[in-house]
Amino acid sequence: MKALLTVATATLALLSFATLAHGQTGCANVEVQNLRVGQGPLMLAAYSDAATFRKTAATQMQVAVTNPTMTLAVCGLSGDAIAITLYQDLNANGRMDANPFGMPTEPWGASGKPAPMGPSWASAQVPLGTETIVVKLSQ
């Protein structure tokens, strides 16, 4: 019995170490600014790596806009870095609308640094940690 308990404890320790070695798992606080109250939901997608960026989100959210600035807890994230893209769906059609030249016609934003041709993993990635990620939507 004592040997079984020792093996179980060692296994749990190894599993804990393996989880830590592959980065954090948890939530990020995201502050979104420049929202238009009552003019459509906020759509958010969070990505955990470059291979899935703008293809398969680790987490997606649709949130009713109740204030010009809102803070959201985005959970289900893993890894050392994440990237977040979001837009306010003013006409509630479930997609970000664009003009004939491909420029967004709805307010949008991304974590990280602004990029002239839209967000990429390199420009949008931020550390997954305790600091609040602030995103100001375009007007």
* CA distances to 6, 26, 126, 129, 132 from 87, in Å: 51, 23, 18, 23, 18
How much is the pLDDT for 26? 87
What's the rounded mean pLDDT across residues 70-84? 93
- Mean pLDDT, to the nearest integer, of 55-72? 96
10, 18, 43, 74, 139 from 105: Cα distances, Å? 56, 44, 15, 25, 9
The more confidently predicted of residues 92 and 117 is 92
C-alpha dihedral (127, 129, 130, 135), degrees to nearest 10: 40
Mean pLDDT of 65-78: 95
What domains does the chain contain, in order, with CATH numbers? 24-136 (2.60.40)
Q: Which residue has the higher pLDDT, 11 or 40?
A: 40
- The more confident residue out of 20 and 136 is 136
The SS3 assignment for 63 reads: strand
Greater pLDDT, 59 or 115: 59
Residue 118 confidence (pLDDT): 87
